């Protein structure tokens, strides 16, 4: 049998070529334990609890690796995992690298004195455009699918003597829960309703 050293010692059983390897520490003591596993959900005590560690590496200037190579998870100087999205999000501007949030609205044009449900269900009333105001025309908008219930915009009445020939745009940006219903009356006037 070879003389034990600080790395390992070998033992042959005399009948086969089997080899027994004993791992020793620096003082030539046999190492018999390689750390215990920790059950999921158990209490963790810093510097006491044993178990496998998911290693991370901090690099002030990270290097690169090639295909098929393994690497440790990147962390910052405070041990926080580094997370960098490798692909762009839908809607992200590829030129400016910014996520666009542009208001896109549907519209309904009303040209008669009537009750019009422009949308059923929850949404947002962006506003409305009156291309050409008409004397004594009125408009009222409800949070409903009928001309009743909660009022989003109370009755607007254009004066008998108009101060503007238009167009007139009124920005609202109000949410509704049930629907958006517009009532036009008093005089025939076109109105364009913008919503989503």
Instruction: Give the start-to-end residue ranges of the domains of the chain.
Output: 106-195
The band of 4, judged by pLDDT with boundaries at 50, 70 and 90, is: very low
- Whole-angstrom CA distances from 100 to 85, 124, 167 are 17, 19, 29
Q: 68 or 117, which is more confident?
A: 117
Using the predicted structure, report yes or no on whether residue 78 has a pLDDT greater than 80: yes
In this structure, the number of other CB atoms found within 10 A of the CB of residue 115 comes to 14
Q: What is the mean pLDDT of residues 49-66?
A: 79
Residue 177 pLDDT > 90:
yes
- The pLDDT assigned to 151 comes to 98
Q: How far apart are CA 137 and CA 112, in angstroms?
A: 11
What percent of the chain has a predicted confidence (pLDDT) above 90?
A: 45
45, 85, 103, 146, 186 from 191: Cα distances, Å: 68, 45, 20, 18, 13
Whether the predicted pLDDT of 117 surpasses 90: yes
Predicted confidence at residue 40, as pLDDT, reads 63
Which pLDDT does position 137 carry in this prediction? 97
Q: Does the structure show a pLDDT above 70 at 41?
A: no
* Predicted structure pTM score: 0.54
Backbone angles phi, psi at 82, to 5 degrees: -85, 125
How confident is the model at residue 17, as a pLDDT? 62
Q: Average of pLDDT values for 82-89?
A: 74
* Chosen CATH of 106-195 out of 3.90.1480, 2.40.30, 3.40.50, 2.60.120: 2.60.120
């Amino acid at each position: 049998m070879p003389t034990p050293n600080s790395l390992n010692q070998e033992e042959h059983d005399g009948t086969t070529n089997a080899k027994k390897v004993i791992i020793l520490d620096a003082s030539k003591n046999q190492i018999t334990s390689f750390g215990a596993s920790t059950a999921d959900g158990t209490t963790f005590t810093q510097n006491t609890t044993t178990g496998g560690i998911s290693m991370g590496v901090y690099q002030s200037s990270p290097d690169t690796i090639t295909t098929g190579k393994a690497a440790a998870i990147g962390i910052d100087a405070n041990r926080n995992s580094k997370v960098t999205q490798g692909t762009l999000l839908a809607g992200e501007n590829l030129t400016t690298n910014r996520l666009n949030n542009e208001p896109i609205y549907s519209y309904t044009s009303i040209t008669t004195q009537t009750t019009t449900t422009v949308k059923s269900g929850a949404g947002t009333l962006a506003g409305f455009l009156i291309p050409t105001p008409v004397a004594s025309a009125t408009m009222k908008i409800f949070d409903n699918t009928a001309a009743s219930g909660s009022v989003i915009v109370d009755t607007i009445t254009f004066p008998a003597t108009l101060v503007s020939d238009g167009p007139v745009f009124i920005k609202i940006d109000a949410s509704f829960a049930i629907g958006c219903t517009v009532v036009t009356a008093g005089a025939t006037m076109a109105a364009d309703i913008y919503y989503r």
